[in-house]
Amino acid sequence: MQLNSLGFPRIGRRRELKFALEKYWRGEITQAELKAVASELRHTHWQWQADAGITQLPVGDFAFYDQVLTLSATLNAIPERHRGEGAIDLDTLFRVARGRAPSGKDAAASEMTKYFNTNYHYLVPELSAEQDFNVAYEQLFDEVAEVQALGHQAKPVLLGPVSFLYLSKTVGQDFDKLSLLPRLVGAYAEILQRFALQGVEWVQLDEPVLALELDNEWQAAFSPAYELLKAAKVKLLLASYYGSIAHHQPLVSALPVAGLHLDLVTAPEQLAVFVDALAPEQVLSLGVINGRNVWAAELDLLAEKLSPLTASLGERLWLGTSCSLLHSPVDLEVETQLAPELKQQLAFARQKLGELGQLRELLQHPASASARTIIETCAARRAAKASAADHEVQARVAALTTADYERDSDFGVRQQKQQQKYRLPLLPTTTIGSFPQTPAIRGLRSRWRKQELTDAAYTEQLQQVTRDTIARQLKLGIDVLVHGEAERNDMVEYFGEQLEGVGFTKHGWVQSYGSRCVKPPLIYGDVSRPKAMTVDWAVFAQSLTDKPVKGMLTGPVTILHWAFAREDISRDAIATQLALAIRDEVQDLQEAGIGIIQIDEPAFREGLPLKQSQWQHYLDWAVNAFKLSAAGVTDETQIHTHMCYSEFNDTIGAIAAMDADVITIETSRSRMELLSAFEDFEYPNEIGPGVYDIHSPNIPTVEAMVHLLEKAAAKIPLRQLWVNPDCGLKTRTWEEVEPALNNMVQATRELRRKLG
């Protein structure tokens, strides 16, 4: 019974890759030094997997920025504006991702968006009608040779051709993406042939689009593509995840592949559908260990369910994670400060590999002493979970009525009252919330956490940072200010640390994109807010100016999606508990005199089920959670929300139903294309389309932002428009932020003059 790893995190258990990347981008280390760090990480991760009993080690899961971008480079699908004079190299990838690299010319970065329903962001491939595909970048083949030199078998992992094409965007003339498939598959065949020549036995082709409800044209693309690939002298493992693919069973079972991987964490019911259709020699890989959460698996219950298959499939049965472990923190062993009763409930990526081995032990040797220990451990965990209930929170949820979810008046009435109160100019300017987290700020926080600074000294110094942030915004002439969030380590973790029923780690980092990592809280119990979380900072900032300063909160849906939430109750129940906690904070902010409050929901679309037929249930409870958090205020209090890196067309009706007074969105990388959804829908409330791509170090010009604003004004009535960056400015430097915001304000003033 083989154990199957679909992919491992690459950032390092202490974020070694993140720090090396950022040093390289700053010019502090050479590319050779960056590659040396990457090689050491790969060797460590491969050895961990080998020690856990994985015999086919994944290759292709490592990327310096994004694995989809690495594949685009391999296929020679790199935009012309990012190419240098020579061959595609590592700096080419950084120019695609960041708009800038240590070598080559700056160019607008490619669009970045969420990978299916995860918080991982991928670089969207840009394809033209004349696109030619061929092997143009050697990283994948070099890494196969690298793992083989260490004495291991390599299992290359690639996004499959249909999924790659589906996730791409067309540029230039309008054409059908599927017309490129024959050329694309030809390049994949070339890649597989190269692997075969290297002695590779198995290649994993990921086709997560199979979890979608594909139309007939996309379904029809699979058979000819895989018929062409079957000639390769390697065995293909077709893998899909994030949802059931049972609705495509006849299509999938007919494909000429040597093995099939199913995600049984999100869709255990699909196992029965595929077992009966399995070909006599075909391998079945079962994704039974959750690759997207940190809670230890109930291995004893899994073994009971899988035991009948052990006898019938024998060596054709593989045990695996549900998806790549990219979405999990790396290693629980470095968590030395977690409470033991919480730590015993957890399994990070390295421990999940161990769970595969334990599950195999239960299946192959159910009467052994080690099997009995595993079973006893699982039972103890379940007992600990049952004792963590908070009956007061549960009673408060049960007492909610329809009125708790609604504002007092409709938007038209609220808008008039808010305009009378704030007297904002046409095209009011604001930012999304955070300002640069400088090394000095991070150093302060580190010293405070080490108790080298008293609470009073820490607060005093952060107040000075806040004074400086307010002063800079006043000098720039921004209309609605923010306090800058210097006290916050992360937009979710900061709140998680202050909520009951929520724990946090020290090293539980997960890659979001590039070098950006987040540390999701652990929602282990019923959630409540014991005291105000942001009021003191908002009141202090507001005391520094007569201009309005926004209260800044993270919404319940985003906290849920960007946390590792308990699995023993429904997600909508957790969202409701979180919404009540945020509602309490909103009301306290209003009571303290904060009249504009932003409740960010950038993960709203991320939670959308992959199948459209399942959307409505999710949208109903997600919208209600936001409305519950925001509804307990007067008409004069202006509620903002923020969303980014999402396709809005699919959810625009639900976004309107959230009834935020103002929504700010990311639109600059798409050149305002995403705004069309709001135009077509005739979005009724106010909207701030981003005019400044904060994920690139490049400083946008006044002319470029005027152009974007004019495009926005052609789609949305002027009285509804706000002007703002795409997202928070935490990751940028003041040297980048101040000139960019100055240009944003100047662009706004220029457009105001043009419009009279």
C-alpha 579/C-alpha 723 separation (Å) is: 28
- Based on its alpha-carbon atoms, the radius of gyration of the chain, rounded to whole angstroms, reads 26
Contact status, residue 411 vs residue 591, Cβ threshold 8 Å: no
Distances (CA, A) of 735 to 95, 101, 657, 698, 748: 20, 18, 39, 11, 21
C-alpha 30/C-alpha 32 separation (Å) is: 5
Angle at 288 between CA 282 and CA 290, to 5 degrees: 135
C-alpha 555/C-alpha 727 separation (Å) is: 15
Beta bridge partners of 564: 522
Q: How are strands ordered across the β-sheet holding 662-665?
A: 551-554, 596-600, 638-643, 662-665, 686-689
Name the token pair of 344: 């015993």
C-alpha 280/C-alpha 621 separation (Å) is: 44
| Bridge pairing between strands 596-600 and 551-554 | parallel
Q: Which amino acid is at 273?
A: V
Name the token pair of 111: 């669009």
Contact status, residue 93 vs residue 73, Cβ threshold 8 Å: yes
Name the token pair of 32: 């050779």
Q: Work out the number of other CB atoms within 10 angstroms of the CB of residue 446.
A: 11
Beta bridge partners of 261: 239, 285
Residue written as token pair 């490129």: 180
Contact status, residue 123 vs residue 69, Cβ threshold 8 Å: yes
DSSP classification of residue 690: B
Minimal CA–CA distance to 48: which of 13, 16, 20, 17? 13
**With DSSP H G I counted as helix, E B as strand and the rest as coil, what are the percentages for the chain, rounded to 5?**
45, 15, 40
Helix (H, G, I), strand (E, B) or coil at 375: helix
- Give backbone dihedrals phi and psi of 526, rounded to 5 degrees, phi first: -70, 140
248 is catalytic: no
Annotate 209-219 with b (16+ C-beta within 10 A) or e (fewer): bbbbebeeebb
| Bridge pairing between strands 153-159 and 202-206 | parallel
Name the token pair of 286: 């079962």
Q: Which amino acid is at 239?
A: A
Distances (CA, A) of 242 to 210, 247, 315, 609: 10, 14, 25, 9
- Give backbone dihedrals phi and psi of 318, rounded to 5 degrees, phi first: -110, 150
Q: Of the listed 248, 507, 695, 707, which one is catalytic?
A: 695
Residues known to be catalytic = 695
